[in-house]
Amino acid sequence: MVEAGQICLEEKIKFSEPFLSVLTFRVYSMAQTEKKGGLLRKSSASKKPLKEKVVLMYDEIFTTEDPSKCNPRFWEELFLMKVNLEYLEGKLEALDGEELMKIKDNINCLFQHCIQALGEEHPIRVVNALQTLCALIRGVHQKNKSTSGFDIINMLVGFDKAELCMKNLMESLDSLLCAEGSESLKSLCLKLLLCLVTVTDNISQNTILEYVMINSIFEAILQILSSPLSRREHGYDAVVLLALLVNYRKYESVNPYIVKLSIVDDEATLNGMGLVIAQALSEYNRQYKDKEEEHQTGFFSALTNMVGSMFIADADEKISVQTNEAILLALYEAVHLNRNFITVLAQSHPEMGLMTTPTSPIPTTPVTPLGTTPPSSDVISSAELPLDADVQTSNLLITFLKYSSIVMQDTKDEHRLHSGKLCLIILTCIAEDQYANAFLHDDNMNFRVNLHRMPMRHRKKAADKNLPCRPLVCAVLDLMVEFIVTHMMKEFPMDLYVRCIQIVHKLLCYQKKCRVRLHYTWRELWSALINLLKFLMSNETVLLAKHNIFTLALMVVNLFNMFITYGDTFLPTPSSYDELYYEIIRMHQNFDNLYSMVLRLSTNAGQWKEPASKVTHALVNIRAIINHFNPKIESYAAVNHISQLSEDQVLEVVRSNYDTLTLKLQDGLDQYERYSEQHKEAAFFKELVRSISINVRKNLAFNTLSQELLLKEFSTIS
Report pLDDT digits (tens) over 616-646: 999 999 999 999 999 999 999 999 888 889 9
Please enumerate in sequence order all residues whose Cβ is within 8 A of that of 160, keeping only pairs 6 or more positions apart, or say none.
none
Question: Does pLDDT of 50 surpass 60?
Answer: yes
Residue 349 φ then ψ, to 5°: -150, 160
Question: Does pLDDT of 213 surpass 70?
Answer: yes
pLDDT of residue 676: 94
pLDDT of residue 604: 84
pLDDT tens digits for range 239-281: 999 999 999 999 999 999 999 999 999 999 999 999 999 999 9
Nearest-CA neighbor of 112 among 152, 65, 68, 166? Answer: 166
Question: Does pLDDT of 446 surpass 80?
Answer: yes
For residue 699, name the pLDDT band (cuts at 50, 70, 90): confident
pLDDT tens digits for range 333-369: 999 999 999 999 998 766 554 333 333 333 333 333 3
pLDDT of residue 451: 94
Which is it for the CA torsion 300, 306, 309, 311, positive or negative? negative
pLDDT of residue 184: 85
For residue 175, name the pLDDT band (cuts at 50, 70, 90): very high
Mean pLDDT of 141-150: 59
pLDDT of residue 703: 56
For residue 31, name the pLDDT band (cuts at 50, 70, 90): very low
User: Per mean pLDDT, which range of 112-116, 376-380, 484-488, 710-714 is the poorest?
Assistant: 376-380
pLDDT tens digits for range 390-405: 445 789 999 999 999 9
pLDDT of residue 482: 96
Radius of gyration of the chain (CA): 32
Q: Higher-confidence residue: 52 or 687?
A: 687
- Rounded to an integer, what distance in angstroms lies between the CA atom of residue 682 and that of residue 678? 5
Mean pLDDT of 605-622: 94
Element counts in the chain: helices (H) and strands (E)? 36, 4
For residue 39, name the pLDDT band (cuts at 50, 70, 90): low
- Rounded to an integer, what distance in angstroms lies between the CA atom of residue 112 and that of residue 107? 9
pLDDT of residue 590: 97
User: Per mean pLDDT, which range of 406-420, 437-451, 497-511, 578-592 is the poorest?
Assistant: 406-420
DSSP collapsed to 3 states, 24-54: HHHHHHCCCHHHHHCECCCCCCCCCCCECHH
Mean pLDDT of 575-589: 95
Averaged pLDDT of the chain: 83
Asked if 371 and 422 touch (Cβ cutoff 8 Å), the reply is no
- Rounded to an integer, what distance in angstroms lies between the CA atom of residue 601 and that of residue 446? 47
Asked if 349 and 397 touch (Cβ cutoff 8 Å), the reply is no
**Helices 549-570 & 574-586 angle (0-180, nearest 10):** 150
pLDDT tens digits for range 218-237: 999 999 999 999 999 999 99
- DSSP per-residue letters across 308-366: -STTHHHHHTT------HHHHHHHHHHHHH-GGGHHHHT--EE-GGGSPPPSS------
pLDDT tens digits for range 302-332: 544 444 443 333 434 446 677 889 999 999 9
pLDDT of residue 273: 97
For residue 465, name the pLDDT band (cuts at 50, 70, 90): low
Question: Does pLDDT of 137 surpass 60?
Answer: yes
pLDDT of residue 130: 93
DSSP collapsed to 3 states, 292-323: HHHHHHCHHHHHHHHHCCCCHHHHHCCCCCCC
| Pairing, β 349-350 against β 393-394 | antiparallel
Question: Does pLDDT of 179 surpass 60?
Answer: yes
Nearest-CA neighbor of 501 among 572, 554, 426? Answer: 554
Residue 51 φ then ψ, to 5°: -105, 150
Asked if 332 and 677 touch (Cβ cutoff 8 Å), the reply is no
pLDDT of residue 86: 86
pLDDT of residue 35: 47
For residue 73, name the pLDDT band (cuts at 50, 70, 90): confident
In the three-class reduction of DSSP (H, G, I as helix; E, B as strand; rest coil), residue 373 is classed as: strand
pLDDT of residue 80: 87
The enclosing H or E element of 470 equals: strand 470-471
Whole-number percent of the chain with pLDDT over 90: 58
- Rounded to an integer, what distance in angstroms lies between the CA atom of residue 623 and that of residue 591? 8
Q: Give pTM, 2 decimals.
A: 0.85
Give strand pairing partners of 393: 350
| Pairing, β 446-447 against β 393-394 | unpaired
pLDDT tens digits for range 669-697: 999 999 999 889 999 999 999 999 999 99
Which amino acid would we find at residue 469? C
User: Per mean pLDDT, which range of 82-91, 378-387, 464-473 is the poorest?
Assistant: 378-387
Question: Does pLDDT of 95 surpass 60?
Answer: yes
